[in-house]
Amino acid sequence: MIWQPALLYFLGLSGVGAGVLLALIAPEELLPGEKYLRRLQSVLLGLLFATGIFVLTQAREWLILAIFIVLFLTVIVISTLRTRIPHEIYFVCILPFVHTSLVTLFTVILFLYGLPTGTLLWGQKKILKQR
């Protein structure tokens, strides 16, 4: 069943849409909750990174682990230099979970990461429209 991991991956990406919906439901909470959403996003990003390292060390995939760490850190450094939310992290984080039994865990963490990401994206879009 080759379509099942792809379906789970897109289900994880739907967290961004849910985050935008959350921002539409409670727009008055965007500004006061921004710092908490950024913290939640950082915690979930760290959880994605730690889970990816755990999966790759258990599978003894040392080359993929090295590539994953380099790509992850590169995306984080570039995104902090550009001062924007790292959207590229979705594509980097799929690397350790492609052929493992923990793809469901990955989907849940990715969905949860998408909630604050989508909310912050919508908030940034509204701020840019007001200028």
- Every domain of the chain and the residues it spans: 40-117
- Enter the pTM of the model: 0.76
pLDDT recorded at residue 36: 92
Task: Give the confidence band of 18 by pLDDT, cuts at 50, 70, 90.
Answer: very high
Q: Which residues make Cβ contacts (< 8 Å) with residue 114, sequence separation at least 6?
A: 12, 13, 14, 15, 16, 17, 18, 19
Classified as helix, coil or strand, 1 is coil
72-127 residue pLDDT tens: 888 777 777 765 555 666 666 666 666 667 778 888 888 998 898 888 888 776 65
Query: For residue 21, what pLDDT is reported?
Result: 93
Pure H helices in the chain? 3-25, 30-58, 62-82, 89-93, 103-130
